[in-house]
Structure formats: structure tokens, C-alpha cells
Amino acid sequence: MALTASAAALSPVNFNGSGVNQRTSLFPRFWSRKGTNLTFLTNSRNKGAGLVASAATGDNGGVTARKFEAETAPGLYSWPDNKRPRICILGGGFGGLYTALRLESLVWPDGKKPQVLLVDQSEHFVFKPMLYELLSGEVDEWEIAPRFKDLLASTSVLFFQDRVKSLHPSDHLGINGPTTSSCGGTVHLESGLLIEYDWLVLSLGAETKLDVVPGALEFALPFSTLEDARRVDQRLKTLERRNFGKNSLINVAVVGCGYAGVELAATVSERLQDRGIVKAINVETTICPQASPGNKEAALKVLLTRNVQLLLGYFVRSISRVEDVESSIKPDDCEVVQCDSEKYILELNPAERGLKRQSLEADLVLWTVGSKPLLPELEPCERPHEIPLNARGQAETDETLRVKGHPRIFALGDSSSLRDSHGRILPATAQVAFQQADFTGWNLWAAINNRPLLPFRFQNLGEMMTLGRNDAALSPSFIEGLTLEGPIGHTARKIAYLIRLPTDEHRLKVGMSWLTKSAIESITSVQSTLSKVLSSS
């Protein structure tokens, strides 16, 4: 993957002949052992590694291209300033990006403003709660998936597009690390680059867990990333073209009826309308078990008024492909691969008494059940510098969001295991990550300036869910029993998310775009109404 770098203030990477020796002298015990302390899983579907560096100084000049191969001997990254604190943030989701922006907004004493380096494997930040609007065509991709380079153009935050290979923390020796160095540890990227840091933020997110059911990994599509949304949209377009002008319906199976499953089922059913049917499967006997009563009722009402069949109290036993599917499209006339006309069989087992086994056929299977953090389990070991993980693979943190036993490492979002005042692990939602990013930024400021750190306290502000192009449900926590639904809920949800977009500049651009689209839709609606009135008269 070709890599671009844009920053006048970015120092060049040192790839000298002594790279390996430097590496060995930094952590001799670490490099002498097989494997590493903590290896971060990567997506096998996205091979290769890339690097994009961006550190704005007010202009966009000085673009340099540089490519690193994974087989190249590691080089030690040279930070622009050897005196100022170095913060490395792994993961550019809600936790990572918003922590970087929070650090940028704080007032720092002279000489103590840290250098912040953000690392993410994608070129784009993705506002995941609005991925559904990509399927409905309500938003454009640039509105909810802007490039990191553009978002950070007016900041001093550096950005690398790369994947994390391994991590070697050294802060277990004390808050200042080894007596010979203040370095908190080293991050090893897949491109071969070594990054020394003073403070580290883990916010690598999670990926959909597809390997729990036979056939799910091969035949089901997840819906949690920008690439997933593109893939699902393309698959739907292919099915829509294939069934255009025919009487056959497009069958879509959505596995899971939590928030993600319900929002996806509502969006897809509205898009297909009378051309398809959505079958939503859930092991529970209700949808959105954790949702507020108002949101659950609003969602159920919408699903029942559309072509959605609810199969509640069932779990998927297996997914298999139907080999002998008749297709009216000749191979010479089809521009898509063969799998675009395939059908799948889902075997369902009852999770409740009184239900019978079922088999259903689907043209498309969408999977929204389960997730796994991108911090894998470690091999059992006695070494004290390992990061403590819970059973789900999340880093154990204290109430200040610092990893236990590692005072220079913070973890948040899906990478963190933190319990609320009732002893329950906080859910992996955008709202939690927003608030944790704010606390992480402040606590980094406090730690660097030798001030007391603040304990994190989650404040539930309410729940929101999209149910279509002009429909949503919103239940604010500060007004008990209130649920905004329909067009009012839809407008309130969009305004709430507009306020949450990363930067003022991006908010302004998106706000103007949405306002323009709304005006055009209103004018079109008035013209359509007038046309009907005139034609009837």
C-alpha cells in the first residue's frame, strides 16, 4: 500500500543500519524471547501495511511519499521534539480520536504540551452510529467517514496509517520506567517501525465475532466498519439489479435483534420495500432486551408495519450455501462473480420450549451478534510486564482508566474492562467511548503535570436508534418516560450526532450539507403534492 505523509513538522524516520542493534539495546530481554508480550490481531482480509503521517502547521504543503515493507528491519521513529512528552494513541475510533482532540484543546504549561501520535489501520475515521444511513442513501460517505488527515489538518496531532504488531511496555518498573530512561515502552508496527512513547492509549476497538457458528465466517456479512457497509450496500445493489422487474422477493436474514440488528433490519426493509423481506432472528423472545420501554415499543411498531418477520427465541445452528440455485441471468450477461447469485440456508434451533426447528432461505445474511476486542489473550506467563486481560480479552483498568500495573498506559472503549457503580462492565457504546475520551485526555494532562487523576463516572444520557430515512426513536435519560419517535425523533437524533462530530469545521460542512438536502427534499415534496393536486383537478 502506498503511503502518504504530509507535514512540515514531521521529522523523518531513521532507518539506519543499526536499527536492529538499537532495538536489542532498548529491551534485550524482550527481543531475546520468542514472540511478544502482547500481539494485536489484524484483519486477514486486509493484507499489507501502510503509513500516513499528518501534522498540520497551517498549510497543506510538503507532501512526501514513503513505503515500508513488513520484512524490513525495524527503524526507530524520531519524534520532532526530544524534550516534550510523547503520547502514542493506538486506534482512531471514538476513544482514540476524541482523546487526541481533547489533548489538543487543553491549556498546557510551557514546554509540557505533548506530542501526540495517532495510529490507525484505516485512512478514515468512521462515525459508526450513522453507518445505517449509508445504506438508506441519507448521508454521503465523506459526512460520516472523513479522512484523519482532513480532521487533524488544523492540529499538531500526527497520524500514521498502520497496523499494530506488538507492544512492549516498560512502565511496570515504576511510573518513570527504567532508571536509565523515562520511556514508557515501545510499539512495534507492521510496517517495521518502532515507536518509543512516554504515555500510551489503547483504543483499538473490536471486530464482529463470526467464528461461533459453522458457516457464518464464510457466508455472513458483518456490519461494523466502513468496509462492511460498502460491501453490504454493493450486495444489495446486486440483488436489486438481479430481481428488477421480477416477482421474486429478495430475502435478507439479520442475525441478532439488539440495537444493531433492529436498526439494520429497519433500514434494509425500508430500502427494499415491497421488493424484499427481512427475517430478523434473535435468541431472546424480545427485541432490544437492554433498551428502554419507549425505544423498544417504537422499534417494534416500525418493524411490524414493514416486511420484517421476527423469529424470536431461536439461535442459528449453522449456515450453508445452496449449490444448485436456478438463475435466469446468463453468465455472459452477468458482470458479478458467481457468489452474487448464491442462496444460503440457515438452520435454526429453538432457544425456548414450545418452538420447533426451522430452516430458512436467504439471499443475504447479515450478522450483528457478538464482538471481540482487538486485544487477544496472552499465553500464560510469569513476566510482570504483561497487560492484565479479562476473559473477553479487554485490558483491566482502574477507575482512572489506567491499565492495572501500568501507570503509563490508558485503555478505553472496547479495549477497556471497567465496571460501573453496580459492578457491571460498561457497554461498548459510542456514548461510553465519548465520555472516556474526555476523561482520558484530562487524566493524561494531570499525570504529565503531576496533578491528581479523576475517577471515571459514566453518565447515561439516554438511547437513540434509527428506524429509517424519516424515523427514529430517542429516549433521553433526564426526562423519565419520554420517547421521541417518528420524524421528531429522527431530527433530534441527527442534531445530537451533528453536535458529536469530531471538529467544528467538519460539523459546519456536514450541517450545511444536511440543511441543503433537507431543503431540496422539501421542495421536491411540495412539487409532487402540487402535481398530484393539479392532475386530479
The whole-number pLDDT of residue 341 equals: 63
Residues 6 or more apart whose CB falls under 8 angstroms from that of 375 comprise: 38, 40, 202, 204, 387, 389, 393, 394, 395, 415
The whole-number pLDDT of residue 168 equals: 87
The whole-number pLDDT of residue 525 equals: 78
The whole-number pLDDT of residue 330 equals: 45
Mean pLDDT score, 224-232:
96
Which position has the higher pLDDT, 383 or 416?
416
3-state secondary structure of 332: helix
The whole-number pLDDT of residue 34 equals: 34
Q: Can you tell me the distance from the alpha carbon of 444 to that of 451, in angstroms, rounded to the nearest whole number?
A: 10
Give pLDDT tens digits for 405-431: 999 999 999 999 888 777 778 888 899
What domains, with CATH codes, occur in the chain? 75-121+162-207+373-449 (3.50.50.60), 220-327+341-371 (3.50.50.60), 462-500 (no CATH)
The model's pTM = 0.81
The whole-number pLDDT of residue 182 equals: 66
The whole-number pLDDT of residue 74 equals: 58
Percent residues over pLDDT 70 in the chain: 79
Which position has the higher pLDDT, 386 or 57?
386
Give pLDDT tens digits for 171-207: 865 544 433 346 889 999 999 999 999 999 999 999 9
Q: Are strands 250-255 and 164-169 parallel, antiparallel or unpaired?
A: unpaired
Q: How confident is the model at residue 6 (pLDDT cuts 50, 70, 90)?
A: very low
The whole-number pLDDT of residue 173 equals: 52
The whole-number pLDDT of residue 383 equals: 53
Question: Which has the closest alpha carbon to 108: 78, 88, 85?
Answer: 85
Q: Count CA within 13 A, CB hemisphere, residue 529.
A: 6
pLDDT averaged over every residue in the chain: 81
